[in-house]
């Protein structure tokens, strides 16, 4: 098994890629298969989140680049900034991982959330794409509620 650990960005061309879902990019210890079929173990510091383009280094020096696996995503759109903020508030109030873009909000598909967004007046479409939500206010910091 190829042991993969974090490395600073590398100027060298990668030897392989590893395509992971959003949830998989949150795990600090896991077994995975590179895109070329090599069995690998990922060993990261706790609370590390991998982003597309991040690089990992194998014990033998190989460089592996992270890619976002396409996932079913709901895309809520509006030209009304007030309506967009209102929808972001309601989704955030439900602790939904949310990708914020100009004029749109993206979240992993959920029919209950889709109904809420439509009732608020946003347009909705579904895509199969990489999902890269906002890290959140407490990302990387320990806190107590």
Specify whether the CB–CB gap between 4 and 43 falls below 8 A: yes
The pLDDT tens digits of the residues spanning 22-76 come to 999 999 999 999 999 999 999 999 988 999 999 999 999 999 999 999 999 999 9
Residue 55 lies in a domain: yes
| 81 shares a domain with 45 | no
The pLDDT tens digits of the residues spanning 34-45 come to 999 999 999 999
Q: What is the CATH number of the domain that holds 34?
A: 2.60.260.20
The pTM score is 0.82
| 54 shares a domain with 82 | no
What is the domain count for the chain?
A: 2
**Residue 64 belongs to what domain range?**
14-68
**pLDDT above 70 covers what percent of the chain?**
92
- The predicted pLDDT at position 12 comes to 78
Residue 49 lies in a domain: yes
Interatomic CA distance for residues 8 and 33, integer angstroms = 22
| 64 shares a domain with 49 | yes
| 125 shares a domain with 78 | yes
| 54 shares a domain with 94 | no
Q: What is the CATH number of the domain that holds 90?
A: 3.30.70.790
Burial of 91 (0-12, 13-18, 19+ CB in 10 A): buried
| 118 shares a domain with 77 | yes
Residue 125 lies in a domain: yes
């Amino acid at each position: 098994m190829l042991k993969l650990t974090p490395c600073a960005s590398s100027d060298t061309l990668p030897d392989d890629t590893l395509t992971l879902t959003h949830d998989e990019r949150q795990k600090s210890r896991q077994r995975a298969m590179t895109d070329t079929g090599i069995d690998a173990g990922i060993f990261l510091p706790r609370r590390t989140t991998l982003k597309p383009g991040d690089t990992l280094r194998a014990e033998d020096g190989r460089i592996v680049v992270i890619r976002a696996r396409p996932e079913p995503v709901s895309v809520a759109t509006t030209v009304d900034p007030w309506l967009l903020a209102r929808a972001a508030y309601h989704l955030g109030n439900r602790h939904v991982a949310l990708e914020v873009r100009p004029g749109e909000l993206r979240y992993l598909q959920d029919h209950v959330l889709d109904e809420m967004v439509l009732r608020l007046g946003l347009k909705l479409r579904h895509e199969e794409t990489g999902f890269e939500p906002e890290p959140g206010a407490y990302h990387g910091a320990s806190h107590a509620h």
